[in-house]
Amino acid sequence: MRNLGGLEDIVEEIERYASYAKQRRPGDLLRNLVASPHLEVIRPAKFNTGNLIITRFQGDPRHLALVTEPGIILHASQMHKRVIRQGLPRDWNVVAEFRIKRLLVNV
């Protein structure tokens, strides 16, 4: 086993379970995140540093963000066309929060 270290490794590991760009049906992203053995659902949401949140846009849970510090998130912004760090907007409908358990893969 090897420990995955960088943000790129985290994104690659989550992509295996989340299929972020390949959602076929409404709710696929949320279902796949809940099913991931590397993630634990946090209820109620606490917005702890290092956790992932999924928000609802256009009626479907479809956008992921990483909590970098209390009240601050890192996410891909369509408006800015890049990844940005910003305060968590009050009007975002946060559907779930996930703690990353650990990232280990067999070598």
- 5, 8, 54, 67, 85 from 42: Cα distances, Å: 23, 23, 12, 13, 22
Residue 7 has pLDDT above 60, yes or no: no
pLDDT tens-digit profile of 51-76?
999 998 878 888 899 999 999 999 98
pLDDT tens-digit profile of 33-50?
898 888 999 999 899 999
CATH number reported for the structural domain that contains residue 18 in this entry = 3.90.1720
- Using an 8 Å Cβ cutoff, are 41 and 105 in contact? no
Q: How many domains does the chain have?
A: 1
pTM comes to 0.72
Residue 1 has pLDDT above 50, yes or no: no
Query: What does the alpha-carbon distance between residue 35 and residue 33 come to, in Å, rounded to a whole number?
Result: 5
Full residue range of the structural domain in which residue 59 is found: 2-105
